[in-house]
């Protein structure tokens, strides 16, 4: 059995750390995930296994070990998330399929935080005041399509189609295969068209950094931080707006790229007056 030496392990973890930062993870999150990986690696070595020949049984065994130590369900889930991200980094997501863990105790979930109409208008006004067409276009794209920050940075020019007042944005997975297509609002089309017309490079990437490279998640996060908003809140706003307009859960899930419709259900939260109005309209 091949055993990686300490140098190789360090290189692998360093590469993982760099990848996490490029994916937009915070420094604290990266530190936590790397710490989890070191602990997992130590456990593997004790079992005469190694991270280079990682198997589903290794991961399941470690989860069982943690649960036997009476680690809390939330702690085990956080550790599993870090290991799952490492499997993603290694393009081996199949390793974490069907890993058994104790179910979390059900709690009342609060809807994700989103922007109301007034907050949306203020954000757009502030971005426009800075007169940076790229940033304006990015904010409209995130707010009006709900795509993830990684999906935004992965966009190419060829993923944008506009003709006769209608447009679509094609979201692709990491293999370049089409994941979903999202219709573009008139405002998003307007800014995308102007942005594309002013680009002075033939780069395939849609959104570029200040040095004409494909923009990174960290760069987008840094830009949005100036306006006291983050990509997650813009994505949540997109989903919440659709739900508020009466769009079905199935359609919202498809547009947002949710593989589990229960994730989409988080956006349903009826106020008491809405419930009363529903009864009145139904039985009046």
Both 66 and 135 in a single domain?
no
- Does residue 261 sit in the same domain as residue 169? yes
Number of independent structural domains in the chain: 2
Q: Can you give the pLDDT at residue 271? A: 47
Does residue 136 sit in the same domain as residue 248? yes
Q: Please give the C-alpha separations between residue 47 and each of 50, 58, 205, 273, in angstroms, as whole numbers.
A: 8, 9, 45, 59
159, 257: one domain? yes
Quick one: pLDDT at residue 282? 60
pTM flag (> 0.85): no
Identify which of 134, 133, 166 has the alpha carbon closest to the alpha carbon of residue 153: 134
Residues 58, 186: one domain? no
- Given this model, what pLDDT does residue 103 score? 76
Task: Find tokens 């996060």 and name the residue.
Answer: 221
Q: Is residue 24 part of a domain?
A: yes
Residue 275 lies in a domain: no
Q: Quote the pLDDT of residue 13.
A: 79
| Rounded average pLDDT per 10-residue block, the chain, 284 residues | 50 84 88 92 91 90 94 91 92 90 68 92 97 97 96 95 94 86 96 93 90 93 96 95 91 92 80 59 60
Question: Is the domain of 194 the same as that of 256?
Answer: yes
**Beta-sheet pairing, 160-163 with 178-183:** unpaired
Among 71, 81, 97, CA closest to 32: 81
Domain that holds residue 82: 6-96
Residue whose C-alpha is closest to residue 141's, from 124, 129, 165: 124
User: How many Cα neighbours within 13 Å face the side chain of 139?
Assistant: 26
- 271 located within any domain: no
CATH number for the domain including 41? 1.10.150.130
Sheet bearing 166-172, strands edge to edge: 160-163, 166-172, 178-183
For residue 27, being part of any structural domain is answered with yes
Task: State the CATH number of the domain containing residue 250.
Answer: 1.10.443.10
Per-residue model confidence (pLDDT) at position 133: 97
Three-class secondary structure assignment of the chain: CCCCCHHHHHHHHHHHHHHHHHCCCCHHHHHHHHHHHHHHHHHHHHCCCCHHHCCHHHHHHHHHHHHHCCCCHHHHHHHHHHHHHHHHHCCCHHHHCCCCCCCCCCCCCCCCCCCCHHHHHHHHHHHHHCCCHHHHHHHHHHHHHCCCHHHHHCCEHHHEEEECCEEEEEEECCCCCEEEEEECCHHHHHHHHHHHHHCCCCCCECCECCCCCECCHHHHHHHHHCCCCCHHHHHHHHHHHHHHCCCCHHHHHHHHCCCCHHHHHCCCCCCHHHHHHHHHHHHC
- The reported pLDDT for the residue numbered 5 is 52
Q: How many residues does the chain have?
A: 284
pLDDT tens digits for range 27-54: 889 999 999 999 999 999 999 988 878 8
């Amino acid at each position: 059995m091949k055993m990686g030496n300490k140098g190789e392990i360090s290189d692998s973890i360093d590469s993982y750390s760099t990848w996490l930062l490029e994916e937009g993870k915070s420094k604290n999150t990266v530190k936590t995930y790397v710490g989890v990986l070191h602990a997992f690696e130590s456990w593997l070595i004790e079992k005469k296994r190694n991270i280079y020949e990682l198997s589903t049984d290794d991961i399941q065994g470690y989860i069982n070990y943690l649960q036997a130590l009476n680690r809390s369900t939330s702690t085990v889930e956080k550790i599993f998330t870090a290991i799952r991200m490492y499997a993603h980094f290694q393009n081996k997501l199949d390793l974490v399929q069907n890993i058994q863990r104790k179910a979390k105790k059900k709690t009342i979930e609060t809807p994700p935080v989103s922007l109301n109409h007034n907050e949306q208008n203020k954000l757009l006004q502030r971005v426009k005041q800075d007169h940076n067409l790229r940033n304006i276009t990015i904010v409209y794209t995130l707010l009006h399509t709900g795509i993830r920050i990684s999906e935004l940075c992965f966009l190419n020019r060829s993923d944008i189609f506009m003709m006769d007042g209608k447009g679509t944005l094609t979201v692709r997975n990491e293999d370049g295969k089409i994941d979903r297509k999202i219709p573009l609002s008139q405002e998003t089309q307007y800014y995308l068209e102007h942005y594309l017309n002013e680009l002075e490079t033939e780069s395939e990437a849609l959104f570029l950094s200040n040095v004409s490279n494909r923009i990174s998640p960290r760069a987008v996060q840094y830009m949005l931080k100036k306006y006291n908003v983050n990509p997650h809140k813009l994505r949540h706003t997109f989903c919440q707006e659709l739900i508020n307009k009466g769009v079905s859960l199935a359609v919202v899930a498809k547009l947002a790229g949710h593989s589990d419709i229960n994730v989409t259900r988080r956006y349903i939260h009826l106020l008491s007056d809405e419930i009363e109005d529903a009864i009145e309209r139904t039985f009046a």
